[in-house]
Amino acid sequence: MSDLVVIGFDDDTTAFEMRAALAKMQKEYLIKMEDVVVATKDEKGKVKLHQVVNLTATGAVGGGFWGMLIGMIFLNPLLGMAVGAGAGALSGKFSDIGIDDKFMKELGETFKPNTSALFVLVRKATPDKVLEGLSQFKGKVLKTSLTADEEDTLRAVLEKE
């Protein structure tokens, strides 16, 4: 089972820095994340989600390949590739994996302008090493599905004065 952790920041860049640190830890096998998204709110109040994986582009590439393959069978690979890419892009745009986009946008609406938050869906972690790696960041724990003790430990590391 995965745990959701949402951490808010008073600027619009620290969430990206923490996401990069978590990605580095994932390469070192200290954490396994299902999804990690940065949400920012600009000075006009618009919330933007910065996904790691662009599902529309991924769908277009996959659809283009399969469309070209099917098109070769019917002797029109270019038409097949175009139709496949369009269908793949459309299906990628409407598919959602990991953290619910609607939930992130709704929570993002409550932020002050020029702030950000990091949404992380953690499958597995080595808590002591991950917390040590995150100790350089200062943020506010907004929401988690962690146990009370785990959440208190995370708060102690990130909300230090």
Yes or no: say if 138 and 160 are a contact pair by the CB < 8 Å rule: yes
Condensed to tens digits (0 to 9), the pLDDT of residues 59-76 reads 444 555 555 555 555 555
Structure tokens that stand for 140 in this block: 């506010």
pLDDT in tens, 98-119: 788 898 899 889 999 999 999 9
Q: Where are the domains of the chain?
A: 3-53+98-158, 55-94
| Tokens read off for 104 | 């992130």
pLDDT of 54 over the 80 cut: no
Average pLDDT, the chain: 81
User: Do 157 and 138 meet the contact criterion of CB atoms below 8 Å apart?
Assistant: no
- Considering the four listed CATH numbers 3.40.190, 3.30.70, 3.40.1520, 3.60.40, the one that applies to the domain covering 3-53+98-158 is 3.40.1520
pLDDT of 48 over the 80 cut: yes
Instruction: State the Rg of the chain over Cα.
Output: 19
